[in-house]
Amino acid sequence: MSNNYIITIGREYGSGGHEIGEKLAEKLGIKCYDKEIIDMAIKEKGIDPEEIEKADERKGNSILHPGGHFMNGWNGKDIPAFGNFGGSKNDKIFRVESEIIHELAEKESCVIVGRCADSLLRDQENVMRVFVQAPKDVRTERIAKKYDITEERAKKEIDRVDKMRNAYYQYYTDDKWGGRNSKDFVINSAFLGIDGSVDFLKSAVEQRFR
């Protein structure tokens, strides 16, 4: 068994999950991957950058894969190449990102934000799965301030992104987005704040893996 450990972070939009992931990685002395996974897919796998941008966290073709559950029974490595049986561009990109996630998990300890990483690595014991949420009003205030938009627009954007992430996750996994049954921690980032949440998770990592 590898000595590496992985922290996966799913998050509601505006909950501060990405910031928590970055700060946690910094405190642990490891890397945090999110958009970096996309960059790696572009550089290492030869995927068109425009295809990546359009498909980022959007589900594939439900006609080709009725009912979703694309990953059911798949460990992220042994699925045939898409050229052998078809599949949408989004599915191809998901497969490439999934391969990269498994490669990262084998070679180093890291934090991975989003990308269905918790489900992709569900059979590994060296993974701590976290989902970050927060009350809607807190998220609305954070998004409105961050992007200098009205709270009404921020609410709409939160609903849109959460809906997109939920559809993406449920399509590519056989699990529920944010579901507590497959997570080790579901935390409210407003309870301890961003830094307090980071310290809490750092302590949990140290107790579990060190």
State the greatest distance between any 2 C-alpha atoms of the chain, in Å, as a whole number: 50
Whole-number Å distance between alpha carbons of 33 and 179: 22
pLDDT in tens, 67-115: 344 444 344 444 433 333 346 777 888 888 899 999 999 999 999 999 9
Cβ neighbours of residue 99 closer than 8 Å, sequence gap 6 or more: 45, 76, 77
Give yes or no for residue 1 having a pLDDT over 80: no
Whole-number Å distance between alpha carbons of 126 and 113: 16
The reported pLDDT for the residue numbered 90 is: 79
Give yes or no for residue 45 having a pLDDT over 90: no
Cβ neighbours of residue 44 closer than 8 Å, sequence gap 6 or more: 100
Q: Which of 1-5, 67-71, 138-142 has the lowest mean pLDDT?
A: 67-71
Task: Return the DSSP state at 49.
Answer: H
Give yes or no for residue 64 having a pLDDT over 60: no
Give yes or no for residue 200 having a pLDDT over 70: yes
The reported pLDDT for the residue numbered 192 is: 96
Distances (CA, A) of 146 to 16, 170, 174: 11, 28, 33
The reported pLDDT for the residue numbered 131 is: 97
Cβ neighbours of residue 135 closer than 8 Å, sequence gap 6 or more: 188, 190
Give yes or no for residue 21 having a pLDDT over 90: yes
pLDDT in tens, 143-197: 999 999 999 999 999 999 999 999 999 999 888 898 887 899 999 999 999 999 9
Task: Return the DSSP state at 34.
Answer: S
